[in-house]
Amino acid sequence: MTDSTEFKKQAHRFIDWMADYFENIEQYPVKSQVQPGEIFRQLPSEPPEDGEDMNDIFNDFEKIIMPGITHWQSPNFFAYFPANSSFPSLLAEMLTATLGAQCMKWETSPAAAELEEMVMNWLQKMTGLPDGFQGVLQDTASTATLVAILSAREKLSGFRVNEKGFSELQDPRVYCSSETHSSIEKAVKIAGIGRQNLVKVKVDPYFRMDPEALHKAIRKDIEAGKKPVCIVATLGTTGSTAIDPLKEITQISKKYNIWLHVDAAFAGSALILPDYRWMIEGIEEVDSFVFNPHKWLFTNFDCSAYFVKDRNTLLNTLQIVPEYLKTKNQGQVNDYCDWGIQLGRRFRALKLWFVIRSFGLAGLRDKLLYHIYLANKLAHNIMVHEDFELMAPVNFNVVCFRYLPPGEDNEEAIDSFNENLLQKINASGKIYLTHTRLNGKYVLRMSIGQTNVREEHVEQAWELLMLKAEGRGG
């Protein structure tokens, strides 16, 4: 298909399909019900020699692909963290795809670089990050955290690991809590630090990093001649959305002059609510900070906001300018390919700009407050129910809980009951939840953050949970 009249015709049809999808989204099973291999087997094993008709391709999309989709934009999606989206974001993504611009250097699309700089300034103000931080969009928090750990490594080694490898930096150490996201471990492996040099500090009863234990671990390492590279604090852990005590952690990072990275991938969005700003008390002492507008700020995946205090360390760590990438205005403009790992970059700032303008700050705050309200209401229902147990504080919009079958006090039996309950609930297709383990216990986890979720959805989910738990729903 190369002719623009045909493109227009198909595009109109696609837009209709997209709008209908959102209108009818609750009719699909939230979690795809296909078996492993079921989609693969329906696909031809050879690519077509001759081009096919778009109508045929689209029919196969509906027939083969759609049944294998898990519907993240369904208001009945309560799994993981949301990866929510919105109409303004989708509209911007269509434009981004149409322009197809590679936004690696300023010159390769000045508007992309300058809009990115401004929307990052907006995000900085929206979240209450102090002046002095500079932002860049990354694809994911995993990448941003890797960039942070690489920067920390280079700063500590005087940029010598980049030059010579690890010959002069022996026993580098990174610290996080036992509840920290797996992306930190991955980054430590990729950065050459080694998994055994990742120190997982114990947490308090609310799953927050114990700063005293952190301090001890660092002191012990220094005494043994090891080299602390970086501390990673989490605001909103993936299991239970616990909030590490940042202020106390900054006192330790400052005392020993260790890079402090804050992973607020999910919960950073909550900083647009002034009531949550207490979480970043001490932020002036932080070296880098990441949060994902693609999780809870209505901007579709991928869009991760990374902020650094010392831009020069970031650039010195990553910048490479081969002849074919040299431009005249080097140094006067932001060439964002030097601020991250990939050379090629999508024009991600556009969707963020559309979202922030279309919702307005008030609109964004209202949505988040509503989700938090819904989560607290559910938590209340769980607390007053005799046989359900709340398993962690509800800090944002995630509720961790389990069912206690009457008369059962064997922990393993309770675990397997809840595991079965989760399977039954998800197999119903009506809602989708996931789980975690807290203090070794199997815990159901419900995150309420989809763009279009309403009170009725959460109420229906709660009814279904009670029904299935009590064995009334089969």
* Burial degree of 474 (CB within 10 A; 0-12, 13-18, 19+): exposed
CA nearest neighbour of 271 among 361, 370, 181: 361
Tokens 């049944």 belong to residue: 67
From candidates 89, 142, 253, 428, binder to ligand PLP by CB under 6 A: 142
Task: Return the number of the residue (210 or 221) whose C-beta is nearest ligand PLP.
Answer: 210
Q: How far is the CB of 294 from ligand PLP (least distance, A)?
A: 7
Q: Whole-angstrom Cα distance, residue 290 to residue 187?
A: 14
What is the x/- site pattern for ligand PLP, positions 380-399, by CB under 6 A?
--------------------
CA nearest neighbour of 127 among 5, 8, 270: 270
Q: What is the per-residue burial (b if ≥16 Cβ within 10 Å, else e) of 442-461?
A: bbbbbbbbbbebeeebbeeb
Q: Is 181 in the site for ligand PLP (CB under 6 A)?
A: yes
Amino acid letter, residue 172:
P
Task: Return the number of the residue (304 or 418) whose C-beta is nearest ligand PLP.
Answer: 304
Pairing assessment for the beta strands 172-177 and 198-201 based on DSSP bridges: parallel
Task: Return the number of the residue (290 or 469) whose C-beta is nearest ligand PLP.
Answer: 290
DSSP codes joined into one string, 145-203: HHHHHHHHHHHHTTTHHHHHGGGG--SEEEEEETT--HHHHHHHHHTTS-GGGEEEE-B
Stretch that binds ligand PLP, among 232-240, 269-277, 401-409, 454-462 (CB under 6 A): 232-240
* Burial degree of 471 (CB within 10 A; 0-12, 13-18, 19+): exposed
From candidates 108, 134, 140, 447, binder to ligand PLP by CB under 6 A: 140
Q: Is 238 in the site for ligand PLP (CB under 6 A)?
A: yes
Task: Return the number of the residue (169 or 392) whose C-beta is nearest ligand PLP.
Answer: 392
Binding to ligand PLP (CB under 6 A) within 446-465 occurs at none
Q: Is 183 in the site for ligand PLP (CB under 6 A)?
A: yes
Task: Return the number of the residue (300 or 304) whose C-beta is nearest ligand PLP.
Answer: 304
Binding to ligand PLP (CB under 6 A) within 248-307 occurs at 263, 265-266, 292, 304
* Burial degree of 257 (CB within 10 A; 0-12, 13-18, 19+): exposed
Q: How far is the CB of 270 from ligand PLP (least distance, A)?
A: 12
Count, residues near ligand PLP per rule CB under 6 A: 14
Q: How far is the CB of 449 from ligand PLP (least distance, A)?
A: 12
Q: Is 81 in the site for ligand PLP (CB under 6 A)?
A: yes
Residues found near ligand PLP in the complex (CB under 6 A): 81, 140-142, 181, 183, 234, 237-238, 263, 265-266, 292, 304
